[in-house]
Amino acid sequence: MNKGFADIKADKVLEKNENSVSLIFTVPKTSLYFDGHFPDHPILPAVAQIDIVINFSSIYLGTGIAISHIKRTKFTKIITPSLPLMLKIEKKDAALNFKITSPNSNEIFSSGAIITASDAKNLSNNGEQV
């Protein structure tokens, strides 16, 4: 776990099973993710959003934090400090499909798919392409 994620916790786990998790979280204005991005108008960088998804996946789905690649990812709205967010992650085949939305799902902030390094290795060992 990196220092940016250290101060982020799930405020509430809404649903969890073997292959998916839905939770509510916030990124406090004191988070290292906001350092220098930008001093007068802090926004959560895209790389931080990916890191948050990877770390919550590791905690709740046991996926590990190493990634092979990222695909079909969109960052559609700006995330500011202390904004309540809902994260849905679904592990399907080699992908971690995710969506960060407002708690009522009316606003989508980002969505996409992350392929973890261990899953990519397993796929290549089975003769499939990632």
130 located within any domain:
no
Grade residue 126 by pLDDT with cuts at 50, 70 and 90: very low
- What does the DSSP 8-state code read for residue 58? H
Q: Is the pTM of this model over 0.85?
A: yes
Which helix (DSSP H) or strand (DSSP E) does residue 57 occupy? Answer: helix 46-61
Q: Give domain status of residue 106, yes or no.
A: yes
20 — phi, psi (to 5°)? -155, 160
Query: Who contacts 62 (Cβ-Cβ below 8 Å, separation ≥6)?
Result: none
**Helix (H) or strand (E) segment spanning residue 67:** strand 67-75
Task: Give the CATH number for residue 40.
Answer: 3.10.129.10
Q: Would you state the pLDDT for residue 7?
A: 85
Distance CA 67, CA 119 (A): 9
Question: How does DSSP assign 98-125, residue by residue?
Answer: EEEE-TTSSSEEEEEEEEEHHHHHHHHH
In a domain, 82, yes or no: yes
What's the number of domains the chain is made of?
A: 1
The answer to the question of residue 95 being in a domain is yes
Mean pLDDT within 6-13: 93
**Domain assignment present for 44:** yes
Residue 69's domain spans which residues?
5-125
Q: What is the pLDDT of residues 39-79, one digit of tens each?
A: 899 999 999 999 999 999 999 999 988 899 999 899 999 99
pLDDT of residue 15 exceeding 50, the answer is yes
pLDDT of 130 higher than 50: no
Neighbours of 61 (CB within 10 A): 19
Give the rounded percent of residues in the chain with a pLDDT score beyond 90: 72
